[in-house]
Structures are given as structure tokens and as C-alpha cells.
Chains A and B, each alone.
Chain A
Amino acid sequence: MPHRIEIRTVTEDARARILQQKITAMGFAPPAVSDLQLIDVYAIDKDLTFDALKQCADLLTNPVTQASQIDKGWIDLPFDQALETGFLPGVTDNVGNSAQQMIEDLLKTKFAAGEAVYASQLLLLRGSLSPADTEKIGSALINPLIQRLHIKSAGDYLQQNGMDNLIPKVRIQSKATADTVNLKVTDEDLVTIGKKGILDHIDDAGKAVRRGPLALDLPSMQAIQAYFRDTEMREPTDAELETLAQTWSEHCKHTIFAAELDEIKDGLYKHYIKRATAEIRASKGNTDFCVSVFTDNSGAIEFDENYLITDKAETHNSPSALDPFGGAVTGIVGVNRDTIGFGLGAKPIINRYGFCFADPRTTPELYRGKDKTFPALPPRKILDGVIAGVNSGGNCSGVPTPQGFVYFDQRFSGKPLVFVGTIGLIPRTSAGRPADQKQAQVGDKIVMVGGRVGKDGIHGATFSSEGLDSGSPATAVQIGDPITQKKLSDAIVKEARDLGLYNAITDNGAGGLSSSVGEMAKDTDGCIVDLDLVPRKYPGLSPWETWISESQERMTLAVPADKVDTFNALMTKRGVESTVIGEFNASGRCIVLSGGQKVVDLSMDFMHDGTPHKVLTSTYTPAKHEEPAFAQPSDLAKTLQDMLSRLNVCSYAFISHQFDHLVQGTAALQPLQGSGQVNSDATVTRPLFDSPKGVVTTQAIFPAYSDIDTAAMATYCIDATIARATAVGADPDRIALMDNFCWCDSTNPERLGQLRRAVEAVYNTAVAYGTPLISGKDSMFNDFKGFDKDNQPVLLSVPPTLLVSGLSVLEDVTKAVSLEPKLPGDLVYVLGETKDELGASEYFAHMGETISGHKFIGNQVPQVNTISARKRYQTLHQAIDKRLVASALAVGIGGIGTALSKAVIAAQLGMEIDLSKVPQSGIPRDDHLLFAESASRLIVTVRPQNQSAFEALFAGQTMALIGTVVETPTLILTTASTSINLEVAKLTKAYQEPLAKF
């Protein structure tokens, strides 16, 4: 019989108090809910004596603050409703798993297969609430895709001596053998199979139940049909079809970026992105700092004579829309594996994040299904979950997360964008080999390390290649287990790598084993895998499920036969499961066995190169918006405060404080700067304690500009990245970039036209600045398809979005510059010219929303002069290198007005600024001067003694001295016609307040 240990906090419980505040905010203030008790529950599905259970309870209870009960309810506690939340069967239960390990260690006994500990939480609610209210509270607290709810009134609870002991054990019985799939069908049927998946069975109602999308289009399905008909001369198995779906997925093969587009035969990726890097590297000659570009799980550049640094950014948008917490955790630990999987294994040293959400204070009604079924999660729940997910994944992994951003637009209400990135450090050589290179050898054993395989994550890769609709598979959702990965990461990067125990390593991410093994097998041209050897979380998985499952925290290695025992022994000693599942060979085939049957037997050539040549065409229609016509606000001081309170401008310190940005002891320029704690666009990390060198990281994203021109958007992103990196001290001639495209509706020629313009702009701008792209990723279908509250169909597409990430190496971190002005008397300069460029600006959006309830857009989107800007950045770098600059801040959203405000907020000092001195052209009025978002501008402060040296460097360039830093904490901005006089305390409040309570 399963047992149940319940643990209650008997002292003041902060978690319970915060939860009650949350419940109050849901509309259940006292007396509805006047008190609550939060109880941790461990259901132990194993026969144990009472004495053993008592030992377990003591183990799990802190005697100073808690009390426990075994196999009975809390009949003495006053409450009215009991509400228990736990995971659904098969969902990763980290707390349960840890408790099980603790019990095994204590009782010196292993749990048998099928025995387990399951964690859940019980809330005992006191108050006048009804059972229906309890249900409502419970539903708001859980995500029904992964969690269960169990409710009892106090009466039933007392009568039945507590809650029912529900055991969420996985009970599945998939077929242990592979099915063959009939492909001798019409094109129409091929389309159905490609879109909806392989037919599993016909249900009792006579309805076809399919296994979930393969995301293969008709030409791909036809290529597969022809291959099996003509070459193999048999029908494919389900496992083979699923393998090809994973390997050929947009997620893995980037078919849109690879396709022939219009007259661009070699596709956008090769023609623009890859070519830009090749040309830049060639032009740099012996100053080229790139080491590994586009070929590995991350890109890499030189750090010093002994080390390289790697970079990679990913998105986890679709999973985060369904389960924000799980989607974000698996995103961040997943991109950590792109670091561990670089070369022979890099150590993750910096995480970064970027979130695009809808306004969390709004509750748009969107449904995935008709008739108000499958509601989309509200923006606040997505925001909370995603932040909690990166918090858990990043913090538990011991990787600092200093740098990130959050951006808001209502078009992210159907699908948020969740960017996660990781920078790694790897020695140039390890165990006598170049550590950035790897190659599996014929005869190497295929070894899977880390977590076990379950049903979770099945169809993840193909699912993110489709839009989100009501058919999106729940099994695509998964929760990460950062500690299992941390153990794995430490064992690989800190031990096995430098012992030379393996020849190659890669991540088990999208597509699971099918992708990782399939990819590595290219090195030797063949592999054989026996699925019977793969450790599984529970019995009952079909062969195809085991082969493509995306269960987290796993990596695949090629281990020489004579080193397998040493390798496995080391892993076991570090608490990491490690299993030989097959062998790399030169057979030219990918063969997978299950129960002695060949469930996959594909030619390597077809698997990797059989994708049909895709030809796409694009169209482009320039956008034309109404030019906003409104008078300059009479109270610009108030407008400035309102601008600081815009979600895209205000502080997100609440995120910075909960993401550990100091672990590893490497922080040098932190995410919150100055005593006023302003969020910085760039941070600096010092990865080696005994070296002064630093790593500069920054990112830039401006989706709003896509409303006018995606080329301007992309150009601005790259320019802003360089401005931000340079502002903290990076050499603009030594910045590496990454591109992450998050597009929408990418089968629509108009969207492809916008994409083409953006990618062309990336090429042009990167080449103009000499900033190579070293890695990138794309996510092409960020669309929500569903219904509104009136049952009208909705297609909600995210604005075409490009995230540009910048990475650079700083020779001496003590030369890094933070954004806050330092001392009264310092001179304030603006570098660069302000033009009448307010198209798609935050100011137009603000005024439109204020005046008409809708954003104004306009047409004058900022343009970049890369020639003058590059010179400006190079000169600024010289000035910083000579220690002439006390503070620097790149101007961004909200223009000079918000930039100067952020500067004084950070410093908690004042400034006296003569705005008429700001270099400008074509500016008709003061509000435009304050809020124009013209590119390539910076606010810099300089010690008076350095004035002439600083100005001499900039001779002939567009810049001006516009004022001074003053002791009195007031921001004074004057022009011929306006004088704004604002206390810094008011600005600080406007900046910090909007998200302060999140």
C-alpha cells in the first residue's frame, strides 16, 4: 500500500502568506479565504514499515520549523476546504525524485522498478469560500496540461481521515513493436499524414486518432514515398517516418533559410548570413578572431592564448505558450547543453534571456478551440511562469544570468517569445587535442548520459515548426531537471573531457536520439543502436517514441571501446547514469533495433540529404501608415514621466534580483547599475580570476520597427548591439554577433518578402561594421491560430522579430564603463545626430494609446549611417581605453529623454542640460527632440579635466557638450521654448514603479 508523509510549517510561513496574497488578488479576500496552511506531501509508493516511514518523515522534516504526519490527515487544524495540487503522470517531479534519492540513501535500499516517491502540495483553506470557489482557486494555481487538482471539503476530509492518496504512476501500453505505414496513398492522404501524423487507431466513435504532426510538407512526403518505393522497395516503419520528420524539420534543417528564394539560388542563410561572415573574416585577415562559426552547437571566438568563448541563443516559444515554467526551464538548460555540446565540451559561464510578452496587466480572451475551449494562458501567467522557469533553470545550474531584457507588445499574447542564450569557456586544447574539434570514430560506442527517456517532449521539434492550435500535443510539454544536468555537466566539462575519454559529444535536444545519433553518425557514415539498452523512466514506450523522445538533460557521446569502462565508472561515481546504446560504423546506414527487430534501416545519405529542394517566392509591399497628427503635449515633464513608466522603458529589476547574476564570482559590470539601480543593456563578466580579461555581452531587439520596414528593424538591431557593447568598453572592431529570427506565417510570400529584406539588411550592416555572425537560429511560425470570445477565428502573428546578440572580449575589465554619471561637475555629451525619426517609436505608441486607444505608427523609422557611426564607436572606444569616459549609455527606446532620465536615476544626481545644443536636423518641436529614436547615439559623461582630450578625439564628428552633472537631484532640460524641471525622486518612482510588485 502506498504511504503518505505530510509536512507542515509550524512557524510563520512566508510561502503561505505570499500565496494568500495571491489568492486575495484573485478576488478571495477574507472572509472568503481568511487563512491558509501549506503542506508538503510525499506519496511513497513502496511498502515500508512504520518505523522506516518514521525515519523518512524525520529525514524530510526540519524539526526547528516543521511537523509531520504519516498516513493520516490533519484533523486538529481548523479549515473549510482542502485543495491538493500535484503533477500528472509522467511529468518530471524533481522534488519527488530528490526525496526518493534521500530515502534510498538513508534506508540503504533501492526502490524497485515501478516504486517511486511523488511530491504534491496540499492547501488547507479557512474561510467562507464554496467548493466552486476552491475549484476556481485551484484552476488558477495549476496548469492543467501538467498538473492535477484534488479538492475535498473539511467534512469529507475529516470523515475520510485526510486526502485520498493518489499515485500519479504512468500506466501506458504502447505497442512494443514498430508499425509499417502505408505510403501507397493519394497526395491528399500524404498531406494528412504529414500535417496530422501517422494513424494510430480508430477510436470507439469511429474517429481517426493520429500520433501528432510530422510537419512534413507534400514534396517531403513524396520524396519519402519515392525513396521507399524505389530504393528500399518496402513500406517505411513508423519509426523511420518519425526519424525523417525530426531530421528534416524546420527546427533542425532550417528549410526556409535553406530554400531557394526568388533569384537567390543558395538560400538566405548561405547567401547572406554565412557569406557576411566569410567576407568579414577574409577582410580582417590576421585580426580575425572567429574560431568556429555555424558548424557546431555554438559559435566560438578567441578569448586569450589559452581559451575560447562560445555563444549560442535559442528560443522556446511554443512550449512556453503551453507551459511557461516548463518551456522556459527546458529552454535555458537546453541552451546550456549547446555549450556543453560545443567541441569537446565548453563550460557554461553566462546565461542570458529575452522575453517578449503581452502586457501582463491585460487579459485578452483567446481560445485554441472553438466555443471557448482550450483558453490561451493569460499574459501574467505566462510572464510569471517563464521568469520562474529561467530562475529555476539558471539558478540551479550555477550559471550567472546577468544580461537580458523584456519587451511588451499585445501581439505576443498568443505566443510569447522566450529567448535564452549561453556563453561558454573552453580551453583551446584538452588532453592534447584541439578542444573545439570533435569527430566520432568507427567503432566508437554510442553512449547516452544523463536523464532517462519518457514520453515527454515527443514531437517537440516538429511541433515548433508549426503554428499553435488546439491540436498542439500536450506531450510536447516537459519540465526540466537542472540538477541532473548539473551533475552531468560537471562530470563532463570538469572531469571526463580533460581525461580524453571521448571523441565527440552532442546535445540530445530537438528530435532526441534520432537527431543526436543521426548527426554524429555523419562522422563515420553509419550507426547501429539497440533501443532495448536505452534506460526509460517507465515501461510501455513504443520504439519510435524512445527514439525521438526529447526527454531532457541527456547528451550523446562517442566513446572509444577501450575507454568505455573508465568513462562509465566515472559517471557512476558522479551520480550520472551512463549507458552504451550502440556503435558508430561505416555501413552507410542508420540502423535501430528494438526487440531484435530492425525498426529503422535508412541510408545515411537519404536521411541527411534527401530533403527535396525547396523553392519559395516572396513578395514585398512597402508599409504606409497614416502620419500621426497631434499637438505637442503642454506638460512635457509629465509626458517624460509617463514615458519612463512605459513597459518597454521601465525597470525590470524584479527579474534581475531573482536571477542569480553573481554565481561563479565572475561579475564585473552588473545588470543593475548605480545607486538608483537602472537596468543595463550590457554586462561584463570576468571569467578567470587571475586574468583581467572580460567578456562583454549585450542584445538588441526592436520588433516595432517591423511595422514600417523589416530592413530598418534589422539594421537598427545590429547598430544598437554595437553601440551598447562599445558603451561598456568593447572594441567595436572585435564584436561577434548572433542572429535569432522569430518570424511568423512564413509560408506567406509577403512575410517571406519581409524576411528577405531583414536578412539582406543583416548582411549589409554586419559587413559595414565588420562584425561577423558566429551562430544563429530561427523560429519561423510564431502564430496563434484560434478563436476569440465571439468564436471568430483569430490569426495572431508576432511582429517579425530579430534578436541580435553581441559578444566581445575586453582586454582589461577595470576599463569597463557603467551607465551612471559619477560625480557632480562632470560634463554631459551627446554623440550622434538626432533626426525627426519617430516612426514606430515608443513615443508615438504612447501618444496614440493616450489619444486614440491605439498606437500611432507613422513612417519615419530610424535609419543608420554605418560609416559615421562606425567612426564614432571606434573613437568612443579610444576614449574609454584612455580612461577619459566616466559613464556611457546608448540611447534606445524613448530617445534622449529617457536616456538622460535613466542616467540621473542611476546616479541619483541631477543634470542641467541645454537641449538646444543637441546635434539635430529637421526636428520640428521639442517632444520630437526628446523622444526621437534616431540610431547610433550615446550619452557620455566626462571629468572636466578630460574635456580637451575627449573633444580632440572627436574632432570633426557629430557630438556636443550639452550640460553638466549636478549635486542637486533634479533633471533640468531647457530649450528655447521649454524648460523641464523634474526631481530625480519623481523620475525614479516613474521608472521603478510599474513592475515593482511583479
Chain B
Amino acid sequence: MSIPKVIVLSGYGLNSEAETLFPFTQNGATGDIVHINDLISGDKQLADYQILAIPGGFSFGDDTGSGSAYAARLRNHLWEQILTFVQADKLVIGICNGAQILANLGLVPALDGKYGDRQIALKHNTTARYECRWVDVKVNPESNCVWTRNLYTLHIPVSHGEGNFFADAATTKQIQAKNLIALQYTHPDGTLAKGEFPYNPNGAMLDIAAMSDESGRILLTMPHPERAMLFTQRDDWTLLKEHYLREGKELPTVADGMAIFANAVSYFG
């Protein structure tokens, strides 16, 4: 089995790099946290890695639109390297601020292979407020996304001010037709949230929580799988613990988000 090498970007206010690298290494990958300026200076090369993760954070303070400034910096300095990376058989994930960066870079959905073409936007939440809360999402069984393979539902948190998926009608139609929606917000009973707050925390159209490109190798996700990787990260683990204790079972160590990282690592296995 080949061991993939993960690059997690940092700098300018990205802040979730450590917890994003951890679940990859837990699943057997190796990796580095690399400051964007070390890629720009050439001290590090994107080509040396198989998985690119752009973690959550507040790059440039969300000024001028979340993710836009960091995306502009990547585009200004590293576009050729990025294009080469995404066109190879490699994986990319953008989580939260990373998702906003991927949208602004035009890496998702990149309909018709048009990498670099901004086709969707992540608008302000309909509450016009930052929302840090736990949600339930379901995986689109028709999606070809590598990251969400063999998964069904996830209990996972969101934490963002701008996560409201938007695209024009023609783009939306193609996103649906091509099954690019990876995750959708649901009620706790598994039915779609249908835009109902707080189950859909931001007003995203079609309850979209995560989306991939057509290859299924690039995932843009507003929910944070890395904040739902360990059992004790769950908001309800103390209740689950009582059930496990009374049933005489061992407490689990991982939570729903871990499988997303395991899928990525095993892609190279």
C-alpha cells in the first residue's frame, strides 16, 4: 500500500491546520503543515504531495469576502502548480474557509473541467451571523466523491458566517444532474432540512453542505469533519457514553468525521 503525503496549508489567518493534519496521520498518511509563503518562495513544492488540504480559519479576516484574498494569493502565485495538481490523480479537500477558498479559486464544481472558473458562491448565512452548531448531513449515494465513499449520514459541526451555497439556475441544474452534491443538511430523522433553520444553518440552496468536482477527487465542505473525528468531540458523547456503559460496551474513540480522512488515505492503498 502506498502512503500518501498530505500538505495542509497555513498562514494569513487559516487556523485549523493541526487538527486537519491529525486525522490523516491517524489513518496512516504522512504530512506537513506548510505556510503558503513557503510554497510561493519555492522552499516547498506542491508536486511532492498527493493530498492537498486547505483547512478552516479566517484567512485575511474574511475581509472582502471570505476566502477571496487567500484564493487570490494562490491564484497570483501558484496557479500553474495547482492546476497540475488537480489534473493529476490526487485529492483535494477544502474545509470551511478552505471550502470558500476552493469556491473562489474555481476548483469546485469546475463544470466541464473548467478549473479556475468561479461558478458557485458561499454567501452570508441567512441569519447574517456566525453559526457554530452541530448538524446532521446525509451523503448523496449517487455521488462519485472519493472522500464520502461508503458513508451515509454524519453528525458533524458547522462554524461559519458565510456558508450559504449559491449558483445560478443553469449551474445548479448541472450540479444536480452530474450528482456533484456530496452532503446535504437534514433533520435529525434524516429527512432533508428543506432550508429550515437551524437544521440547515445557513440557508444553502438544496440544503447543500458539501460538493465535489466532476472527478470526485476535490471536496468542498462547509461542515468540519476534523472537529468530529474523536468521540469526545461530539456534542452528545456524554449521553452516548451512558448508553455504552450501561450496555457494558467499550467507549468508541472516533466520531463520524474520521471516515472522510480514512477514505482519502485508502484511495492510495
Contact = CB atoms under 8 A, between A and B. Distances in A.
B143 interface: no
Contact of B120 (A64, A670, A674): A64
Contacts of A674: 239
A11 B251 CA distance: 48
Contact of B118 (A12, A64, A663): A64
A816 B233 contact: no
B166 A65 contact: yes
A18 B242 contact: no
Interface stretch (B46-54, B68-76, B178-186): B68-76
A573 B224 contact: no
Interface in A441-496: 481-483, 486-487, 490
Contacts of A665: 16, 18-19, 22, 226-227, 229-230, 233
A62 B65 contact: yes
A752 interface: no
B64 A63 contact: no
Contacts of B12: 483, 487, 575
A486 B13 contact: yes
A624 interface: no
Interface in B1-36: 10-13, 15-16, 18-19, 22, 35
A305 interface: no
B72 A59 contact: yes
A660 B96 CA distance: 13
A11 B172 CA distance: 15
A95 B64 contact: yes
Contacts of A94: 61, 63
B60 A65 contact: no
Nearest to A572: B37
Interface string A650-666: 00000011111111111
Interface stretch (B79-87, B127-135, B207-215): B127-135
Contact of A105 (B72, B129, B133): B72
Contacts of B242: 822-823, 886, 943
B187 interface: no
A178 to B, nearest CB: 37
Contacts of A397: 15, 58
B132 A689 contact: no
Contacts of A822: 238-239, 242
Interface stretch (A96-104, A145-153, A430-438, A739-747): A96-104
A362 to B, nearest CB: 24
A390 to B, nearest CB: 11
B128 A14 contact: yes
A818 B239 CA distance: 9
A670 B235 contact: yes
Contacts of B13: 396, 398, 482-483, 486-487
B255 to A, nearest CB: 11
Nearest to A686: B232
B18 A664 contact: yes
A820 B125 CA distance: 30
B128 A396 contact: no
A101 B227 CA distance: 31
A22 B124 CA distance: 17
Contact of B58 (A398, A574, A817, A823): A398
Nearest to B56: A663
Tell me what chain B mostly uses at the interface: helix, strand, loop, or mixed. Answer: mixed
Contacts of A820: 238-239
A658 B128 CA distance: 11
Interface string B129-160: 11111000000000000000000000001010
Interface in A9-41: 9, 11-15, 17-19, 40
Contacts of A823: 242-243, 246
B168 interface: yes
Interface residues of B, number: 69
A659 B133 CA distance: 10
B58 A689 contact: no
B104 interface: yes
Contacts of A106: 72, 76
A573 B38 CA distance: 8
B190 to A, nearest CB: 16
Contact of A663 (B16, B61, B120, B235): B16
Nearest to B131: A657
A610 to B, nearest CB: 42
A686 B237 CA distance: 14
Interface in A813-866: 813-814, 816-818, 820, 822-823
B263 interface: no
Contacts of A686: 230, 232
Nearest to B159: A660
A669 interface: yes
A883 interface: yes
Contact of B60 (A15, A101, A391): A101
A943 B72 contact: no
Contacts of A487: 11-13
A947 interface: no
Interface in A483-521: 483, 486-487, 490
A14 B126 contact: yes
Nearest to A941: B242
A817 to B, nearest CB: 7
A881 B26 CA distance: 28
A668 interface: yes
Contacts of A490: 10-11
Interface in B82-130: 104, 118-121, 123-130
A667 interface: yes
A105 B61 contact: no
B164 interface: yes
B132 A14 contact: no
Contact of B22 (A483, A659, A689, A816): A689
Contacts of B167: 64
B61 A661 contact: no
Interface string A561-581: 000000000000111000000
Interface centre among B12, B164, B229, by most chain A C-beta atoms within 10 angstroms, is: B12
A661 to B, nearest CB: 6
A169 to B, nearest CB: 20
A488 to B, nearest CB: 11
Contacts of B15: 397-398, 486, 663-664
A60 interface: yes
Interface in A319-373: none
B132 A658 contact: yes
Nearest to B20: A665
Nearest to B14: A398
Nearest to A668: B232
A241 to B, nearest CB: 37
Nearest to A669: B238
Interface in A118-169: 119
B233 A668 contact: yes
Interface centre among B77, B133, B238, by most chain A C-beta atoms within 10 angstroms, is: B238
B203 interface: yes
B177 interface: no
A817 B121 contact: no
B88 to A, nearest CB: 27
Contacts of B64: 40, 60, 95, 98-99, 102
Contacts of A662: 132, 157, 159, 224, 227, 233
B63 A398 contact: no
Given A483-B13, A573-B38, A662-B224, 4 more contacts: A14-B128, A62-B68, A62-B121, A667-B227
10 contacts: A18-B127, A62-B68, A95-B64, A102-B68, A102-B69, A397-B58, A662-B227, A665-B229, A816-B232, A816-B238
Interface of B: 10-13, 15-16, 18-19, 22, 35, 37-38, 41, 56-58, 60-65, 68-69, 72-73, 76-77, 104, 118-121, 123-133, 157, 159, 164, 166-168, 203, 224, 226-227, 229-233, 235-236, 238-239, 241-243, 245-246, 251
Top 6 closest pairs, chain A to chain B, by CB:
A398-B15, A665-B19, A98-B63, A64-B121, A18-B128, A818-B238
